[in-house]
Amino acid sequence: MALAEWLLSQRARSRLVGEGEGFCVANATRAPFSGWVTMISTCLRDDYRSVTDPVTGARARLEFYPGVQPWGRPQSPKEFSPEDISAVFPDQSPNRHARFWVERLDAASVKRFQLSKDEVQDSPSSPDKPTVKVDENGWPVSAVWAGMKKPLFTAGIGEFVSVKVNAFAPRWALADIWNTGDATKREELRKEKLEEVLAKPGGPATMEETPHSIRYRQPLKHPRLGWATRQLEVWKREPRARLTFRLNRLSSFAPEIFYIATSLPCDGTLPRLSSGGQPFTPFTDQLPGSCRDYFAIDGWADYSIPDGRWLWVSRDAPLLTFDRPQPLARLDRPPPRTGRLLAMIYNNFWYTNFLGDEPGVMEFQFDLVWRGDDSGDAAALAEALTSEPVVVINPALPEQPSFLKHLYQP
């Protein structure tokens, strides 16, 4: 990963050095990008407070927010979040990161900004924000933008559910279920031995509104987690949302599976998936007898119905199932709720050629977007939803040619 990041930085620098002095933002994907451009604040090198588009004169405020300070000593208890259980280096140190909003940065394009020390006010809040409904704890259960007949998501987005095995020799119990040929008997064993445990709210959700998006954040409680938080950021000017889920798994070698759910108003419709770059429809474009309890995917599910197109994208989870946890079910037909997606984020049922216990902090991200028609390449849009713009700050003085010459030959 470190070498990949180094190579990306070198390629970006050699490509963008000719753009001239300024703050260069590159969209390397095949679809337009709208969202936050983020960076570590120390890269700014000075007390900059805003950026200016030299072409239009538009100015945007740099928003600073807390983060980890490596090797830094905390100055107050407030610099430790509940996630910072070691309490050594602060994870809420002020002004560690900076960001500003970019609206529709064209595909495969570079936009240059000028950094400024001038303070500017936030842009006026967009009047085109969605109608968001929340539950009794303030967590969103639906969001509808103008022109939509159905919401972007329904109740159940961001649910966390685990599957445990109730047996004194749990993996032998799993083998008994798998080896049972009779479907009725197998389902009886699944109900007897497998237990689903749903996370509960750990408190009310908080809401933060910016001129460009609305963020909801809520803690969750689950017996297998030290802590968990879910955040849903809803874009104002387009039907889009991003779910970020963080958890701290407690150490255990017992077999279990973790899932994070997303509920869409698309029940009764099967999405198009992709595996190895080959699109397919689950349950139909498969060899007889192949696995349907979960699907190995490239990271997206594309639903198309008369009311529009829903695209679900996962940055991290390559295994997907529908409706509810389906371990050892041997499904041969679609379940009822095909619009409920469950990303399998942890599974040590097999415990064969890998470590059976992976405790600690994990983070997962999922994006949702709606379009009024089914045009456009799902893979290209999925790539744009999960990618961040590349940032390079060019100095006023020209780059030393000898340095550029040896970028790839250290």
Residues 290 and 317 in one domain: yes
Cβ neighbours of 261 (radius 10 Å): 21
Residues 122 and 12 in one domain: yes
Q: Tell me the residue range of the domain where 379 lies.
A: 131-386
Q: pLDDT band at 197, cuts 50/70/90?
A: very high
Q: pLDDT band at 407, cuts 50/70/90?
A: low
CA gap 116, 21 in Å, rounded: 13
Q: What pLDDT digit, counting tens, does each position of 105-148 carry?
A: 999 999 999 999 999 887 777 678 999 999 999 999 999 999 99
| Residue 138 included in any domain | yes
| Residue 153 included in any domain | yes
Selected residue with higher pLDDT from 271 and 4: 271
Say yes or no to pLDDT of 281 above 90. Answer: yes
Residues 160 and 272 in one domain: yes
| Residue 292 included in any domain | yes
Q: What pLDDT digit, counting tens, does each position of 330-373 carry?
A: 999 999 999 999 999 999 997 666 678 999 999 999 999 999 98
Say yes or no to pLDDT of 261 above 80. Answer: yes
Return the DSSP state at 182.
-
Residues 252 and 380 in one domain: yes
Residues 116 and 159 in one domain: no
Residues 225 and 364 in one domain: yes
- pTM for the predicted model, two decimal places: 0.93
Q: pLDDT band at 267, cuts 50/70/90?
A: very high
CA gap 358, 342 in Å, rounded: 20
Residue matched to tokens 């990963």: 1
Handedness of CA 66, 68, 70, 71 (dihedral sign): positive
Backbone phi, psi, residue 48, to 5°: -80, 145
Residues 207 and 106 in one domain: no
Q: pLDDT band at 287, cuts 50/70/90?
A: confident
Q: pLDDT band at 376, cuts 50/70/90?
A: confident
Average pLDDT over residues 196-219: 96
Residues 232 and 378 in one domain: yes
Q: What pLDDT digit, counting tens, does each position of 231-258 carry?
A: 999 999 999 999 999 999 999 999 999 9
Q: Domain holding 313: CATH number?
A: 2.70.98
Question: What's residue 313's pLDDT?
Answer: 97
Closest-CA residue to 206 (of 274, 256, 138)? 138
| Helix pair 170-179, 183-193: axis angle to 10 deg | 160
Question: What's residue 262's pLDDT?
Answer: 98
Q: What pLDDT digit, counting tens, does each position of 45-74 carry?
A: 889 999 999 889 999 999 999 999 989 899
| Residue 410 included in any domain | no
Q: What pLDDT digit, counting tens, does each position of 394-404 carry?
A: 887 777 777 66
Residues 223 and 329 in one domain: yes
Question: What's residue 199's pLDDT?
Answer: 98
Give the range among 23-27, 35-39, 236-240, 285-289 with minimum mean pLDDT.
Answer: 285-289
Question: What's residue 406's pLDDT?
Answer: 66
Number of domains present in the structure of the chain: 2
Q: pLDDT band at 266, cuts 50/70/90?
A: very high
Residues 360 and 270 in one domain: yes
Question: What's residue 83's pLDDT?
Answer: 87
Question: What's residue 408's pLDDT?
Answer: 58
CA gap 28, 244 in Å, rounded: 23
Residues 303 and 317 in one domain: yes
Average pLDDT, the chain: 92
Residues 111 and 141 in one domain: no
| Residue 227 included in any domain | yes
